[in-house]
Amino acid sequence: MSNPPPAPPSLADLRKEIDAIDEQVHQLLMNRADIIDRLIKVKKTQEVGSAFRPAREADMMRRLVQRHRGILPLDTVEGIWRVIVSTFTYVQAPFSVHADVSVGESAMRDSARFHFGFVVPYVAHFSAQAAVEAVARSKGDLALVSTTSGHTPWWITLEPAGAPKIIARMPFIQRADHPAALPVFAVSRVADDALVLEVETWSIRVSGWNAQVSRALSPLADVIAVPDTAFDGAALLVSIEAPSHLDSIKAALIAAGASVRSTALVGGHAKRYTVPS
């Protein structure tokens, strides 16, 4: 006679398992905090500068997505991870998020809260220029600016050496129905070895900007353009992803009849991770 199948676990047993896992998760977070506390002490003697590490964060997020499985929504995993990393970054070096709400208060606030949680202070500004200037006056704050914000050439503030730079493009994980889908640049100061330049962002000032020049450039890069009537041209923020590079952008501009007055690297970010549908 075959043995009867084992009885399924009771609800009480399953809840005990959940409680045990919750306790482990909490303990691991406290263990992480202990390591961060030790890291702060080491950094005081071995490292200076911003606590932001966009290259490391991009690598960690790629690995998180690649190993994720099961019924837990990826949105939840990404949101939890972002809050953990942002909170511990804040613990290392307190900062505020300055957000350009001219593109929509609710969408920008959702982006800020999803990526930085509620511990990091949130400061609203009514223009990209004001948000970026607030960061430039600070020691280590961060600005969120829409990737389509082009009312003023706010990125010119990022041109000088020592100025804040574009350090990230959010959301990093690209998928349909993202809960914080507003595309934004993060602007802050960051150590040179922490910046990731898989996509370079350049400030390019040109003369002779028109629709024909814009069409010539659009297949090669993402462009924000603000007309510059003083020089019959425009101030451009150009996001260049390989295999394109600055020389090909300049060549396309010249071939279309524009002239390049100046170029300056104003930051960069990781290439976004696209989740297969």
Pair 258, 233: CB distance under 8 Å = yes
Amino acid sitting at position 219: P
Q: At what angle do helices 74-92 and 105-116 cross, to 10 degrees?
A: 70
Distance CA 81, CA 172 (A): 12
Q: What is the pLDDT of residue 44?
A: 63
Q: What is the pLDDT of residues 148-167, one digit of tens each?
A: 888 899 999 999 988 999 99
Amino acid sitting at position 161: A
**From the CA atom positions of the chain, what is the Rg in Å?**
23
Q: Say if residue 48's pLDDT is above 50.
A: no
User: CB neighbours of 200 closer than 8 A, spacing ≥ 6?
Assistant: 239, 240, 245, 246, 265, 268
Distance CA 134, CA 95 (A): 12
User: pTM above 0.85?
Assistant: yes
Q: What is the pLDDT of residue 254?
A: 94
Pair 192, 119: CB distance under 8 Å = no
**200-269 maps to which CATH number?**
3.30.70.100
Q: Say if residue 46's pLDDT is above 70.
A: no
Q: What is the pLDDT of residue 45?
A: 47
Q: What is the pLDDT of residues 256-277, one digit of tens each?
A: 999 999 999 999 999 988 887 6
Stated as kind and residue range, the H or E segment containing 234 is: strand 233-241
**Residue 264, burial from CB neighbour count under 10 angstroms (0-12, 13-18, 19+):** middle
Residue with the bigger pLDDT between 175 and 225: it is 225
Q: What is the DSSP string of 173-202?
A: EE-TT-TT---EEEEE---GGG---SEEEE
